[in-house]
Structure 1
């Protein structure tokens, strides 16, 4: 091979190597660009809280008569409580929509007891006869429900007997406009997240752009000033005064 031919081959080899290097360099730069774009996101959590006062109350109580011998006797004892119960309810001035009486339930029920037979303790199945009825008081007049619970103390003492038990539940406090509050809190929580993202971006000399991803957290409805939360959300019905908290997680594009 002549010298010119050797020189041409060297130039060609150098050119091919240069092109390969440029191509490789292009891929690396492009790859770095993709990584930069993907990382130019700020992930922030925003929250909003509002205090509310319950606007509806529910209270339930159950009258139950039990007899070990017959259903007829259980029902007779149950009927004997009705004058006191009816007098109590009449004194509460409840409207037809504020008082609901569930159908009377009556029938035998099985239960187990431990008895000593031949010097040994054995579990034995027995039958008892039960008649019961549940009353539900529900009103937007919360004072009315609270008064009914207070008045029930004396009324139920008069109605109860050895074979009749009256089980009174706790008052449940509800808020009927919760759907509207949730929408407003989501907006406020999103605005809070944006303010947080802007503060972070500005500290680095940048600004935030469009929302890339958004995730809504669970709502927490807790007693006023309560700090505990549940992973699946909470809905307190025990307190008249409550706090509603909304949380959102948002990814903002950085400009």
Structure 2
């Protein structure tokens, strides 16, 4: 009889204890879910203040010496041309010369390779201009056909546009996105007859730069447009507030 009473008491205590723990856990769970999660946006348009323009030129000859001599002459012409356009010497950078041996393949009637005939040396060198005079270099890139007309085998790449104050811009945008998120949270709380408590968590989203008025897709890892002079930057900030 005593043993049975003892078992009843143990079971009762266990039920009471488990009920208390369950009730406490349930209350804590509700407290943890009493939050507002909002995302704020920081967005700004800006104009690039740095331009990089690249080009390359080539020469081919049966001997390496002749090819180098021709390439040197072209390089001097390019220097003179750029100087005449107002480009400072320290803004012009020439790369190392790349050269290849070129061959012409011949085949027999069955399509089997017969031999490779050496046709000469092909030399290529690149030139790069980096400047803060964006409009001037942009116009120069459009006039590069003048080098071709002078007898130089010149290939021009599209200019690339950058912004040197990106770090400062990003800080301002984060502040703007945070303020936007906070305003949204306050509005939601007021409309729900609640008040905001402490900030529990904040996360910064992806920083994106695309061309203005473009149809570029936003990338999950962030995009960084270099093709457009006029750009749009965006960033998001997610805030989680406790609700009182």
Q: TM-score over 0.5 for the alignment? A: yes
- In structure 2, the gaps of 5 or more residues are none
The Cα of 1:240 is off from its aligned counterpart by 1.1
- In structure 1, the gaps of 5 or more residues are 1-5
Write out aligned runs for 1:192-203 (5 A).
Answer: 192-203=180-191
CA RMSD across the alignment = 2.9
CA contact (8 A) 2:49 2:164 kept: yes
Tell which deviates more after alignment, 127-136 or 25-34: 127-136
C-alpha distance in 2 between matches for 1:205 and 1:150: 62
User: 1:3 maps to which residue?
Assistant: none
**CA separation of 1:155/1:17 partners in 2, compared to 1, >3 Å: closer, same or farther?**
closer
TM-score where L is the length of structure 1: 0.81
CA contact (8 A) 2:49 2:163 kept: yes
Higher alpha-carbon Rg: 1
The Cα of 1:189 is off from its aligned counterpart by 0.9
TM-score where L is the length of structure 2: 0.85
**CA separation of 1:112/1:184 partners in 2, compared to 1, >3 Å: closer, same or farther?**
farther
Runs of 4 or more, structure 1, over 3 Å off, are: 8-22, 110-115, 121-128
User: What secondary structure sits across from 1:235 in the alignment?
Assistant: coil
User: 2:194 maps to which residue?
Assistant: 206
Say which of 77, 101, 111 aligns to 1:84: 77
C-alpha distance in 1 between matches for 2:103 and 2:235: 48
User: 2:138 maps to which residue?
Assistant: 146
C-alpha distance in 2 between matches for 1:230 and 1:113: 44
CA contact (8 A) 1:221 1:244 kept: yes
Tell which deviates more after alignment, 32-41 or 191-200: 191-200
